[in-house]
Amino acid sequence: MRFGLNIDHIVTLREIRKTYEPEILEALFIAKNTHKVDLITIHLREDKRHIQNEDVLRLLEISPLPINIECSINAGITDFLCSLKNKPSKVTIVPENRNEVTTEGGLDCSLKGLGEVIRAYRNKGVEVSLFVDPLKDALHFAKEHQVKQVEFHTGVYANLHNVLYSNANNQIHAISVLKDKSPKELKEELHNAFLQLRKMSKEAFFMGITACAGHGLNYSNVKELLKIPSLRELNIGHSVISKAVFVGLEKAILEMAQLIKR
């Protein structure tokens, strides 16, 4: 299982004050020196709420680890990434809504212009991944457009797990649509969400597509996903950076790596 560390929220903290710290390159080298992180993931959003173009340039210039850049099909971002001298290891195309707090679901594969953007990256020799819900239609789209990797959105699974097995429902930002469901209902939905991830990961394997996963994964809910043998990569960020606030980034990375690299 590959461990992709998303370091967006190192930059979120920097951008709150519009200052020079914390330094994203320091996070990169802490991750590298643990010898447990396989790739660095960043999301270059249209609104530049955290990662900036300059961060992309600096990371790609000196990173000893592969860089996975998440982005929408925005023309300006596509042109920028395609023009780079130092190419990312892969670009993961994600849906994006300016008003969202974080990515809310998988990519709509009927999105106008998606095929053209995939070809643009392929023509530049950049591997493309699609951030999709675990559905067969998404896999068929990937196969049709010669996309060799997908990342399944695990938000549904993660939210259900958090509500059942943590105090998430007692927090300020509780998930309202899940608050009134019984434990029995939640367990059934969680089981179904896990089965769907397992089924689509296996389907991807037989279609020659590498299955990755990410979104909302943390130290509690990640363990079950290790039971899916055809799942090859997990991208995790917010929970690791949150834990790092209390224990430091190196320890937070090592604790997560210990869970997913057993």
Q: Specify the residue for token string 């597509």.
A: 209
Please pick, among 9, 43, 50, 153, the residue that the annotation labels catalytic: 43
Please pick, among 9, 153, 161, 215, the residue that the annotation labels catalytic: 215
**How many C-alpha atoms does 124 have within 13 Å on its Cβ side?**
22
70 is catalytic: yes
CB 166 within 8 A of CB 178: no
238 is catalytic: no
Please pick, among 9, 70, 153, 189, the residue that the annotation labels catalytic: 70
* Parallel/antiparallel/unpaired status of strands 90-93 and 210-214: unpaired
43 is catalytic: yes
Q: Round to whole Å and give the CA distance between 12 and 18.
A: 10
Element (H, E) at 55: helix 53-62
**How many C-alpha atoms does 237 have within 13 Å on its Cβ side?**
22
Q: Round to whole Å and give the CA distance between 228 and 19.
A: 42
Element (H, E) at 155: helix 155-165
Tokens standing for 210? 């590498």
Measured in whole angstroms, the distance separating CA 118 from the mean position of its chain's CA atoms is: 18
Q: What residues act catalytically?
A: 43, 70, 215
